Structures are given as structure tokens and as C-alpha cells.
Structure 1
Amino acid sequence: MTKFDAHLTELDTPAAIVDVQRMQRNIERMQRCTDGFGVRFRPHVKTTKCTPIVRAQLAAGGRGITVSTLKEATQFHADGIGDILYAVGIVPSKLPQVLALRRRGCDLKIIADSVASASAIAEFGRAQREVFEVWIEVDTDGHRSGVEPDGAALLEVARTLHGNSTRLGGVMAHAGSSYDLDTPEELAAMAEQERAGCVLAAERLRANGLPCPVVSVGSTPTALSAVGLDRVTEVRAGVYVFFDLVMHNVGVCTMNDIAMSVLTTVIGHQIDKGWAIVDAGWMAMSRDRGTEKQRRDFGYGQVCSLDGTVQEGYAVRGANQEHGIVWREGERDSDIAARFPLGSRLRILPNHACATGAQFPEYHALDERGLTRWSRLHGW
């Protein structure tokens, strides 16, 4: 164990650890990628929900942020960030929060993907004498939300928004189905599908006399796999800052790029089963089993030694609330107690960094100077 890792023996477990060197490398990689295409990069902060990390993303060249909750928008605006996209469909009950933020000086953009949503925004804006900037969410891959880029609904929503109480700011897409892919060819094709669909939507709006200054695309896999981003104005991505085992299986990072891990202690053994029991169960790792349907299943997380060295074949393959069960894939390890002695410490790489991070109120950022506590935002 090096002096660098010795700091980890000071912590109670389980604890969320951020390898600052890896994190910074990931931030710089994404920024270089988007800079190379000459497009603006708007980091999605839902993965970390942590001000020091967001500041590192902006310092590297990020321009504005994307959030998944209005609580995030409120916190990051209070921390001095003004340009914010709330990238979740809005409902009328949340519009007063949006109004309050805008009247405090926040340049908050919201999205719509239906006439009902657009009408509610327009009606509220008229009543409050506020002009909201609204982007239209476009569905380029059948993943979740949005209007078809070549469908009639796109123009209906746009015309509803283009008025005195709203400003049509652009179109945005998120190719979330890229998480289901795992070859460079598939990922590049999905990135192009996302780009082409969003650009088509923008061109249709402009051809019909409607403004569309922003064309925004993004997911971590497509952002890192795009061959070209012609007529795109900005890219969004979030999980790249930490990466995780799902992204490893998708093929956009190695295990040595994964910047967040869960520090855990070995609390027992089942020798006859070849099990080591750790104090990181699903309450620490989350119940996200995102690798279960991928080409390699890591259970609840990949086991590493205290210094971060991957222990091949060992994963948290079973979990209860506060107990994780570690065993080696494919065979019983009769020497499990010698390999992972009682009281020894391990680090577990997560399936989904967003879900695992959400289990903790703070990160312990580890660099050559030691450990620093970084608060993490919770709730909605």
C-alpha cells in the first residue's frame, strides 16, 4: 500500500471515493473530443451533483450545464452558474420554480415534447408576463421521450411555443439506446443517427419560418464515438466524468478510467462457499444491475484492491441491504479468507456511477495531497 492509498484507511466504510487524477483525465478527454468538432460542450451534472466537479468541467471548457432536477438548477445557480438547461419534460406544477429561478437571474431553459406541455408553458408565461426559453425534445432512437424529427407533432409543438410568452430556443436529443451497443461501428452509426435526426428537426423548423438557434445532442457513448457533428451546435454528456462498468462494456472506457469506487471492508467469510462478505450491500452500490444484460455481468460491482488494482474474476455477485457477497466467477476460492482477510479493505467499481453516487451524501476525493470531502446534492 502506498502513501497515496494509506489515506483510505482513515475512512469509515462504505464510502464513495473519487480518483481525482482519473476524473480530470476523463474531463479533458471529453472536452478535447467536442473541441475537435468545433461545438460547444454542455456537461450534464446529474452524475455527480457536486459543485467542485462541475467547476472542474467548466474550467476545462464546458459552457453551461445540463441538470435533471430543479433542485440541481437552484443549487448550481446559487453557486454562480447561470446558463442551465433543465433536460426533463416540464409539468405545470413545476413552472413556478422555473419562474422563480429566472427572476433571480438564472438563464434557465426548459424542454417540451407535446402540445399539452407547450400550451401549459405558454399559458403560464402569459399569466406571469414571463418569456420562457423552451427547446423541443426530439426522439432519434425510440429510447424514451421526444417527438419524431419528421413527424407533424414537431411543427405543432413549435408553433405553440413560438409566441409572445415563449421563445423557441432549439431542439435537443439524447440517444440513450447507445447504452445497449458495444462495437465502435454500432456506436458511430448511432451517433450519426442522433445527429442526423436532430439536424433534420432543426431544418424542418427553419424551413417553416420557425427559429432554431440550438441543435443539441448527446450521450457519453455517442459523444465519444461521433465521426462528425455537422450542423450541431452543442453536445451534452454526463457519466463520462466518472465512467462505470456499463460504459466499460459499451466500449468507451477501460476499467482504469473509472474514477469512482466504493470503499468497503471485509466483515466475514463463508469458507465452504468461497465467499467474502463486505459492508457494501445494495444500499451502497445501488440495485442497478446495468451490466446484467451486457456481454459481461459484474453483479453489483467489480472488486479492486485498496490501491485500485482490478481483482480479475472477483465481483460483488450478491447483495443484501448492508452485506455484499464477493466470490470468484466460475469456481469456489478455498483461499478466500487469505486473499481478502477479515478487516481488509477493497474498492468496488460501480455498474452505474449515477445510481451508486446517489447512495452517498458526499464524495471523498483522493489525490496526492490526501482526501478532501466534497458534498453531493440529494433529492428533488
Structure 2
Amino acid sequence: MTLATLDTPAALIDQARMERNIARMQQRMNALGVNLRPHVKTAKCIEVARAQTAAGASGITVSTLKEAEEFFRAGYTDILYAVGMAPSKLMRALALRSQGCALKLVVDNADAAHAVAQFEHAHKAGFEVLIEVDTDGHRAGIRPQQDALLAVGRLLHEHGVKLAGVMTHAGASYELHSPEALAAMAEQERAGCVLAAQRLRAAGLPCGIVSVGSTPTALAARKLDGVTEVRAGVYVFFDLVMHNVGACALDEIALSVLATVIGHQQEKGWVLVDAGWMAMSRDRGTAGQQHDYGYGLPCTLDGTPLDGWIMSGANQEHGILSRAPGAAAPAEAEDLRARFPIGTRLRILPNHACATGAQFPEYFAVSETGATAAWKRFYGW
């Protein structure tokens, strides 16, 4: 299959861009002296994860137990389930452990820790547990200075659960866009997680793993003293949000949606394509950033952005391309039917690679020769 014969809409991976992104992140982590444990939730694809492992990544991070099960079946054993553990999922986690998966769990409160401890006492599961630390107020976690950190650590340790370490995620980095702010956030993330580890150790509790990570902070960090591993995910594809943050250039975005022109509204300045929000997702992550790309940035088939155009609207199966607000108008009235004939194929860069990827059962990996190969993507929790 080629880009001219694929059914549209289709999710495309530019293999050369993806491989450069993987190499860039791995080289940076090597230079900073830490392990890279990629977050595979972005692609949920075995072939992509294998490319990350081949480059030097060690272990993986998942956001669902379905991911853990799929990747374990593919031969991955060192897996961190980086979402707060729900007691109802412990039996399923035990099934993975009993098959030889070194699955690591996360808690950030005493109730969850108590549930894990009770389960451990009843089933001798051998769980390894990390405490999630809040270093930026973005989402979950215990603040490094809180007494609750030591209380949760003692609860686990004294009830026979292996306290493996601490982890944090500086999700607030997605709201930044200057190198200085990103570097400061990376240091805040590092320092907070290291402080939590130091407090646990000073209290006589084990803390071998110090895990930090987001794509922006991983790329902005100037030092990672005291950190043992970094988790990052979207770097494998990048997206328009990451471009606005300053983490990547447009020509580093490796995921796009192949779409076909199906109509025009000349008087409105619209070009209609067969990729709506069911293909692009409803994620409007760039709306609050300095450059709003609507539902995505349209490009020619070779990946060159269409200057001044965005996907400004999306219905379920219809995408609307139009001039971006503030974009310079053409010198003469533009005949949209002539510029974008029916059947024209375009590639649309996504706001959020994770959300757009989730709309498709497979990717089509495109080599530098233009050849495509289907790579399965899996779903569910």
C-alpha cells in the first residue's frame, strides 16, 4: 500500500522522524546518566516500543493494566503501572506477577496503601510499590514535605510490601513555553522527588527508585542528580501541543492523519475533508496556548505545512480546513476547487498524539521510500 491507495482517514507514522525522536531522547538520558523508561501509552504499539528498546530504553511505563498485559505477552517484564492503584485491580495485577511480570504499582494515600498491604498479607503477591509525589500541584501525589509521605512508606514497609521508591510527573510543564521556565520546572520536579526519597531513607525506609518524567522536563533538564530513571512518552511522536511548549519543531512531529478532500464551501473559505473529530479526537489542547491550531495543522502529502491553514472545525466525520485567524489573505481570490481538487490527499498533524492515536486500530508506518506497513494498536483498560 502507498499513501495514494490507503483508505482514509488513516493514522500515519513517519518512521524516520520517529526514529530520530527516539534517538534524541535516548542520547539525552544517556548524557544525563539515567535510565529511560518510556511511557508506552502514547503509541500502545509493540513495534514502536521495540524501537525504543533497541535504542537503549530500560523497562516501560503503562497507564492501563491492558497495556501491561499486552506488553508482557510481547516479552516485556519490567513494567511500571503509573496510575494510582485501585483495590479492585489487585487480583489482575497478581495474575501478571504470578506469570513472571515484575509489575510495579503506585499509591499516593494511606487507604490505597492499606488495601495493597492487606492483599499482600492474604496472597503473598510480592508487589513492589512506589509512592507518587506531587512536585507541581498538577494532579496526584503526596507533597515531598508532607508527613503523609512517611506514614504511607511505613504502612507499606511494616506490612511486608516492598517499598520500591518514589515517582512524580511534572504535568504542569505542558502549560509552559520558554526554555527558562521548562528548565526551572525540570529542576523543581527533580529536587522534589529527590527530597522525598531522602526523607524516606532518613526515616529508615528503603527507596531505590527515584523516577521522574514528562517529555518537556526530560528535554529541558540540565542535571538529574539523585534520579534513577526518567519516564517520557509523547516524545516518540510529538504533537502540536509539544511544539507550542517548545519541545519540538513541526518537522519532528511523526504522527499525522491522512485525509481526503471531499468538498468545498467557496464562499466560506472552507475545504472539507473526510477526517473529523472521530479521526483527530476532540482534544483542543492548543486552544489555550500561544498558537491555536484548531483540530490540527494540514500539510501536503510530503508533510509540508500549509502556511496559514488550520483544521478550524470538526464534525464526526467531516473536517473543515480554513485560513487561520490572523493569517495573511492571498493576493487574489483563491479558487479552492482548483487549489484543493476533490480527491486531494493531505496529512493533518494532531494537537495531542495520544488522543489522536486512540481513534485508530492501527498505524501505517511510512518509510523514507514511501512504503507503508500496518502496525497494530490496542485499546481498553
Q: Which string of whole-angstrom CA distances, capped at 9 and with x for unpartnered residues, describes residues 173-226 of structure 1?
A: 000000000000000000000000000000000000000001000000000000
Which has the higher mean CA deviation after the structures are superposed, 159-168 or 361-370? 159-168
Aligned to 1:309: 304
SS for the counterpart of 2:231 is strand
- Residue of structure 1 equivalent to 2:108: 113
Structure 1 partner of 2:261 = 266
Q: Is the contact between residue 131 and residue 164 of structure 1 (CA under 8 Å) also seen in structure 2?
A: no
2:54 to 52, 59, 62: 59
Structure 1 residue aligned with 2:38: 43
**Partner of residue 366, structure 1:** 366
Spell out, residue by residue over 1:42-63, the C-alpha distance to the aligned partner (whole angstroms, 9 max, x if none).
0000000000000000110000
* Displaced runs of 4 or more, over 6 A: none
Pairing 1:352–2:347 present = no
Distance in 1 between residues matched to 2:170 and 2:324, nearest whole Å: 33
Contact 1:268 1:277 in 2 (8 A): yes
Q: Is 2:334 the counterpart of 1:329?
A: no
* Correspondent of 1:281 among 272, 276, 279: 276
Aligned length: 375
Structure 2 residue 152 is the aligned partner of structure 1 residue 166:
no
Contact 1:125/1:132 (<8 A) preserved: yes
Q: What residue identity is the alignment partner of 1:31? A: Q
1:134 to 118, 129, 145: 129
Of 204, 208, 215, which aligns to 2:210? Answer: 215
1:76-91 alignment to 2 at 5 Å? 76-91=71-86
CA contact (8 A) 1:281 1:320 kept: yes
Residue identity opposite 1:80 in structure 2: G
Contact 2:170 2:189 in 1 (8 A): yes
> What is the SS of the residue equivalent to 1:169?
strand
Instruction: Give the RMSD, CA atoms, in angstroms.
Output: 1.0
Distance (Å, rounded) in 2 between the aligned partners of 1:275 and 1:373: 32
C-alpha distance in 2, partners of 1:346/1:165?
57
Paired letter, 1:363: Y
| Length-normalised TM-score, structure 1 | 0.97
- Work out whether 1:72 is the aligned partner of 2:72: no
Shift of 1:164: 4.7
Percent of residue pairs identical: 64
The residue type equivalent to 2:355 in the other structure is: A
Q: Secondary structure at the match of 1:7?
A: coil
Work out whether residues 303 and 349 of structure 1, in 8 Å CA contact, stay in contact via their aligned partners in 2. Answer: yes
Q: Any conservation in 1 of the 2:178–2:245 contact (CA below 8 Å)?
A: yes
The 3-state SS of whatever aligns with 2:313 is strand
1:233 equivalent in structure 2: 228
- Partner in structure 2 of residue 144 of structure 1: 139
Q: What displacement does 1:334 show?
A: 3.2
TM-score scaled to structure 2, two decimals? 0.97
1:254-299, Cα deviation, whole Å (9 max, x unpaired)? 0000000000000000011111000000000000000000000000
- Looking at structure 1, the residues matched to 251 and 368 of structure 2 have their Cα atoms a distance apart, in angstroms, of 17
C-alpha separation in 1, matches of 2:47 and 2:314: 31
- Which 5+ residue runs of structure 2 have no aligned equivalent? none
Query: Is the CA contact (8 Å cut-off) linking 1:272 and 1:334 kept in structure 2?
Result: no
- 1:31 and 2:59 are equivalent in the alignment: no
Contact 1:134/1:167, CA 8 A, preserved across alignment:
yes
